[in-house]
Every structure is written in C-alpha cells, then in structure tokens.
Structure 1
Amino acid sequence: MFFGMIMFYFARGIFGDVGARPLSKPDRAQSSEPAAGNTGRMITWAGIGLALVVLISGLLLYYEYPKSTSYVLGPLVGLMVAVIGYTVTDPQLRGVEKDRVWVVVILSLFTIFFWMAFEQAGSSMTIFAADYTDRTLEGTQAMAFKIINTILTIAPLAIVTWVLFLLAKETAKSYPMSVLFISLSFVVIWTISLWMLYRDFRNEAAEVPASWYGILNSFFIIALAPLFSKMWEKWNPAGPIKFALGLILLGLGFGVLAYGGLSIEQGAKTASVSMIWLILAYWFHTIGELCLSPVGLSYVSKLAPARLVGMMFGVWFGATALANYLAGFTASYIDKISEEYSMTVFFLIYTVVPISAGLILIVLNGFLKKKMHGIH
C-alpha cells in the first residue's frame, strides 16, 4: 500500500487537470452541497441526531454494561438521520427532485440489510470455515486443489502484470519513479505468490486455508460478470427489482449454510462440514452482489439533483458504513447463538432478514418506479 501511494504520487500528473484544485468557486447550481437552508433547520436536525446518539448509546450501555463496546452505533445512526433529514427538508427540493431523492434514501436503507449480511464473509463465515469446515484434502483431491489454487493465483496476476507492463512502456519516460515503485511492488507480490505455491506443492496433503474461500467472490465476479451483462441486455428489470433479487439471492446463500450446519451439534466448538456448502454460499452471494452492487451507485448519480450528488453519495456510503459496523456487531453473537440454539439458527437470521427485505422491495417496486419519474 505504501508503494502504491508513492506510485500514485509520482504519477499524479497523468490525469491532467482531473482532481486538481479548482481555480474558481463552482456555481451553486452545480455544487455538490445542498442548497442554502436556514440555520434553524440545521440546528433542528443536528439536535435530532444528537438525541439519537444519546438514546441509542444509553440503551446499549444499559443492556450490555459493563461489557458494552458499542460506541459507534449511536453516532453512526444519529449522523445518518441528521444528514438525511437535513437533505430531504431542503426548501429548494420540490416535485420530481424530491421524489427521486427519497428513492435514493430508501434504496440506501435497504442496502444496509444487504451489506450487513454480505460482510459476514470476513467474520462469521471465516469462523465457520476455520472451525466447522473439513478443509483437509488428500491424494487426488489435494492435487486438484493445488492446481486450481495455482491457476487462480497465477492467471489474474499474469494478466494484471502484462497490462501494467504495457502501461509502463508508454509512461516510463514521463513517470520513471512511478514505474519503478510499481515494478518493485509486483516483484514482491510475485515472490510471495511463488513461494506460497512452492510450499503447498511440497506437501502431499493439503489444508485449505480458512481465508482462501474469500477469493471465491472475486473469482465468481470475474467469471459471471460477462454473463450478467448479456442477461441485462435482454432482460433489464427496474432497479428496485434488481435490489430485491440481490437481497433474496444473498439470503439463499445463507440458507445453504444453515442447511449445511444442521449436522453441527448445539454448542459445538468444532465440526467437519463439507466445504461445498461454503462454496455454494459464496456463489449465491456473488450473484446477489452482481444484481445489486453495480446498480446502486449508478442510481445515486441518475436520481440525485446535480447540486446534491455529493451529499447523496455520502448518504449511500454512510449506509454502507453502518452496514459494515452492524455486520461485525451481529457476527459477535455467533458463539452465544450457536451455544443457546445452533449454528443453523445463527445463519437463518441472515437468511430471513435479507429475503424479507427483498420481498418488501418487490412490493414497493411500483411505488418506487413512480417516484423515479422515468429513470429505469
């Protein structure tokens, strides 16, 4: 990352004036700031946000004290409500503009349910892979995994290296230091990758690292993105339907994990569930992501008025930040829920919530399409 930062620093002139400091103050109509409102409106929503911070933080401390570590949830929710409230009560927002801004807000809120569940990949799903999945392979299976792992490691690395080599040929004279640092970065990456593959091939058996399953999302995206691009050309439903499909498919992925966890005894600390359930879960999750993620930012830019685009992107990423926090917060209950109920019950929560949200979006589709005023 440090080399990457240095590389971008030395190549900052490659984009010309893009990202440069503006020479004059932009016209307010084109500004990303909300239209001017009275100070009272700002104070009102700041007060509401602060009240929510105190209320939520107080409730969490009351129910979890002295073990509470939930210091972020209250400020996140309070800030989100204050920003959304201040934006939608902008006195210059009227008619079509106001309707479209509300659609962005509603879709942003539904993405919370998606990313809260999706980001379990870095927490509860990794725990499931490490402690509850049979990751040991022998004989033919071990060799097959080593070959697949080599392809998944070398192929994308070789493609990216070739592309950057072609770029370096064009930019070496103008940005030699940038090319030097990116070359050093890839020497390090290739060295680590080849050492890892050499180490794996030396061992007769193979144990799939728990973190390895995380690459399946990237692999499935690369493999399936062209298919989805073709599919949307022939069948291109409205944005809310794509959001709903993403949520439902995500829930089905966790349904697969819930089913795979049926053999895990209540309160068990380890188990040997087949890895096929994790692979299928990542498959469904990636398909869901391909339905929802590319659409989200596109709709923010299409629906938000020009002067509020920056603010609405802030709302969108604020919702994502809240979702990521909730992902970690809810994942922390995996041991408690699996001990009191079962691992299946834990994953069923992430099955029911996204699917329910998706079904609600399907019901709201007609209303949201009307409020989008022709934006598909």
Structure 2
Amino acid sequence: MTSTISQKHPRGLYVLFFAEMWERFSFYGMRAILLLFLLDNVRGGMGLEAAEAAAVYGLYTSSVYLLTLPGGWLADNILGQKKAIWYGGIVIMLGHIILAIPGGTSTFFIGLVTVAIGTGLLKANISSIVGELYPEGGARRDAAFSIFYMGINLGSVLGITIVGYLGQKINWHMGFGAAAVGMLLGLVVFHFGSKKYLKGYGEVPPVKISTPESDAKSGSEKKLGYGLVAMLVLFLSALQLKGLIDMTTAQGLAQGAGIIIVTVSLFYFIYILVAGGLTPVEKKRIYVLIVFFLAAAIFWSGFEQAGSSLQIFAERYTQRTFGGWEMPSSWFQNFNGTFILIFAPVMASLWIFLSAKGYNPATPVKFAIALLLVGAGFFIMEMASKIAVTGQLASPLFLTFTYMVHTIGELCLSPVGLSSYTKLAPKRYVSQLMGIWFVAASLGNLIAGLFAGGFDEENLQQMPALFQQVTLFSVGFGVLLLIFWKPVKNWMGGIQ
C-alpha cells in the first residue's frame, strides 16, 4: 500500500507530513495538560477557578489560530512559506522550553504567548505548501490533505499519550519539556527534507514590478487598509468604554476576544473584496470562503470542547478505573487521533472512488454533514450528562462514541476545508486566506473555552441543557447549508 501511495503523491508531501506530525505532537501534547495544570492546586499547578482557567485556555487556543493571519501575511509578502515555517518552529520550541522551567505566573504566560506566536507563523504556511504541490486541484488534492491530516493526528496521539502521562503522572513541567523535544524533531525533519524534496515550493515572494498605475493602486489599498485598522481600534475602544466588554480580566478578555476575532475577520473580508483587486469570479469564491468560515467556526466550537468541557467531563464525571488502574483523563483526547488514523485512509479513498463514479458530494454538502455529526456527538453527551446529574459516573463508552462521531465529521470538514481554501483563494492571498481558515478554528476554540467556564459544579442540572444547545446550533446550521448547497457550489466557479 505504501508504494502505491508514494507513486501517486510527491515525496514533499511526506516531508510536510512528518514535520507537521512533530509540531502537532508538541501542540496537542501541551494542550492535553494545559487546562488540568491551570486548575491544579495540589501538584504545583496554577490553582485557578474553573471559569478563569477555561477563559485562559480559550484565549490561548484561539490566539494560536488567530495569529495565523499575520503569519500568512508575512509569508505572502516578506518571508515565503518555508522561512515562516522554519522561524515559527524555532519560536514554538523556545516557548515550550520556557514552559518547562518552573517559575512564576509571568514566566508561564510568556511561554504561552511565545508558543502562540510561533504556531501562528508556522500553521497556515505548511498547509499552503501542501496545496502548492497539487496545482491541478481536484480529488487528488483532497486525498493528499487527508494523508497530511493523518500526520497531524499521529502527532496528536503520540503527544497526548507521552506529554499527558508525563504531565499528569510525573511532573507538569516535564510534560512541557517533552513538547519542546517534539518540536525540535519537527525542525530537523523539515530542514533536511525540504532541501531535497521541496525545491521551488514556498519560496520568497517574487518582487512586484512597479509602475505608476500599480503604485497608485497600491497606495489607495494601503490607505483603505490603514482606515479599516483605525476603525477596528476605535470600535473596540468604544465597546470597552461603554462597558460592553471588559478586557481587564481573563473572562472579560476572552469574551472581548470573540468580538475581536469576528470583527477582524469581517474587516479582512471587506478589505479583500473592496481593495483586493479581485475579478468577479474571484469575489464569488471569496463569498464561498465566508460561508465555509462560518460553518467551520460553528463546527470547531463544538469539536474543540475535547480539551475543555469534554476534558472536564472525563476528569470529574466519567468512570476511568479499570482493574485498580486509573486512566489519565487526558488520554480520552487520544480517541480522536486514533479514529483519525483508522478512518482517514478510508475517507481519502472514498472521495477518490466517489469522484471517479461521479458521486463525490459537493464541498458544501461535506461541511453540512460535518455539522450534523458534531451535533449528533453532543446529543450523545447530553445522554451521558443525564447520568452524571444523578451522581453516578458515566460509562467511558459515551465519550468514546462521541469522539468517533466527531472524528468522522472532522474528516468531512477539516482536510476538505484546507484543500478548498487553497483551491478557491486567489494565488496572491493564499497564505493569508489559509490564516483566515484557522481564524475560524480560533473563534471555535474561544467559544469552547467559554462554554467550559459555564460548568457549575453547584448546579449540575444545567449540564444536559448546555450540551443540547450545541446540538441544536450545529444541526440548525448544517440543515441550512444542505438547503442552500447548490448556490454555494455555483459560486465556486467550476472548482471541485
């Protein structure tokens, strides 16, 4: 099977596969223990209240993806994707080293910020190069992203298992140190592999030829860009002064960050539509990307509760003792990565098979299916929470089946979305728009963190209703997308 795949896909894909695998080892490994470290007041953790800890968690995971937007801009305009990946990896490694050093609150938050900055520089750009390897697009590119996605989740499984065990069972900072080692291995793979198999890809952007007309147009675009930034700052300042947001506390900052993310995304889409120099066909494709952005944000707001509300449910309300051995609660997050490794090759083959038969579902339909599945997963959790409110521990099978359903939904949305953004984005904006794709994940992560902060141990009766909200919202948007999938597909301008 391996030889067959190698004939179909360039070897550069596997360089990116293993580089991303080790980067995700560090990211998901650290994420698995982050909320637990923030809550812990026994073994040297931060000892924060649940609402504050969940807000910090949501801020971190959302900022990681929000920073892919400036990371994409730097790659498109200054560094090129390869250099952005290299420098981003170095910064991530330094951030994990800082987290591995036992210190005060300031040291910890400096480490978190450093990891977020590095991830913002790396994440969108490595996906952009995967798309660059397949200029013809089509189902083959979708299949490549499914293979690439296996690397992400193999790293996730290894990271959660190793970092989760070291952090929960031995020492929190040893877990953070293991994440730094993982990123170092990713840098080694990328440095040597890209020299041989990624020549000509992700290079420094070409110097633009300057003419009086292009200079005038560029000047007007810059003025509009500066104007939009000024409007954004004024808008957020007004919200703060009016007391509609309070960015002086972790929870207030998390809630304010949601408004910031939505506003930044809106302003960016306005900018690219008004001053991006797009053709009518390209503008319609941007409208499609906006629809996909909204669908992805809703999907991730449910899915990313793996590290927040589902982590709390695993820790406090799930049976984890088997024959006298207690499983670390962070290991439940491994179900997602394990199911990805099982189902990703199946889904990749399925898209190619259906495409050959003329039955490959349109991308909007795949997104709709993903939303319906994440809603179904939270329906399962609603059933589990009804057991928890009686004072009994829920069976681990509830979380197991939830992760399985969510994983199949993820495979309908995430690799397909990555591929679609590289296909639909105008070439000159590809890394920036890949950044926007991850900003959707940023918004979803933030909502997931705030949702977990709503868990009140004094009022467990609310839990089923909280899970039901996610079900209804996800299913509702999924049904809406199913109704309007044909117009959305037509706006794609023939791109499959």
- For normalisation by structure 2, the TM-score amounts to 0.55
Query: Which residue pairs with 2:252 in the alignment?
Result: 68
Query: Which residue pairs with 1:249 in the alignment?
Result: 373
Tell me how far 1:241 sits from its aligned partner.
Answer: 0.5
May I ask how many residue pairs the two structures share in their alignment? 299
Contact 2:309 2:448 in 1 (8 A): no
Query: Which residue pairs with 1:110 in the alignment?
Result: 295
Query: Which residue pairs with 1:334 in the alignment?
Result: 455
Equivalent residue for 2:337, pick from 190, 205, 218: 218
Query: Which residue pairs with 1:321 in the alignment?
Result: 442
Tell me how far 1:45 sits from its aligned partner.
Answer: 2.0
Amino acid at match of 1:208: M
Secondary structure of the residue aligned to 2:456 is helix
Describe how 1:123-272 pairs up with structure 2 within 5 A.
123-138=308-323, 205-232=324-351, 233-234=353-354, 235-265=359-389, 271-272=392-393
Q: Distance in 2 between matches of 1:121 and 1:372?
A: 32
Tell me how far 1:26 sits from its aligned partner.
Answer: 5.3
Percent pairwise identity: 31
Query: Which residue pairs with 2:231 in the alignment?
Result: 48
Q: Using a 3 Å threshold, how does the CA distance of structure 1 residues 366 and 52 change in structure 2: closer, same or farther?
A: farther
Tell me how far 1:366 sits from its aligned partner.
Answer: 1.4
Q: Distance in 1 between matches of 2:459 and 2:392?
A: 14
Contact 1:255 1:351 in 2 (8 A): yes
1:195-254: per-residue Cα shift (whole Å, max 9, x none)? xxxxxxxxxx22222111111111111111222223322241000000010011011001
Tell me how far 1:365 sits from its aligned partner.
Answer: 0.6
- For normalisation by structure 1, the TM-score amounts to 0.71
Equivalent residue for 1:90, pick from 267, 272, 275: 275
Q: Distance in 2 between matches of 1:85 and 1:11?
A: 36
1:126-150: per-residue Cα shift (whole Å, max 9, x none)? 1111111122223xxxxxxxxxxxx
Q: Using a 3 Å threshold, how does the CA distance of structure 1 residues 20 and 116 change in structure 2: closer, same or farther?
A: closer
1:67-93: per-residue Cα shift (whole Å, max 9, x none)? 734353343233222212111112622
Amino acid at match of 2:484: L
Tell me how far 1:19 sits from its aligned partner.
Answer: 7.0
Secondary structure of the residue aligned to 1:68 is helix
Describe how 1:11-30 pairs up with structure 2 within 5 A.
12-16=191-195, 17=199, 22=204, 25=207
- Which runs of no fewer than 5 residues in structure 2 stay unpaired? 1-178, 211-216
Q: Distance in 1 between matches of 2:443 and 2:281?
A: 28
Secondary structure of the residue aligned to 2:245 is helix
Q: Distance in 2 between matches of 1:362 and 1:20?
A: 36
Q: Using a 3 Å threshold, how does the CA distance of structure 1 residues 239 and 207 change in structure 2: closer, same or farther?
A: same
Structure having greater relative contact order (Cα 8 Å, sep ≥ 6) = 1
Q: Distance in 1 between matches of 2:328 and 2:274?
A: 51
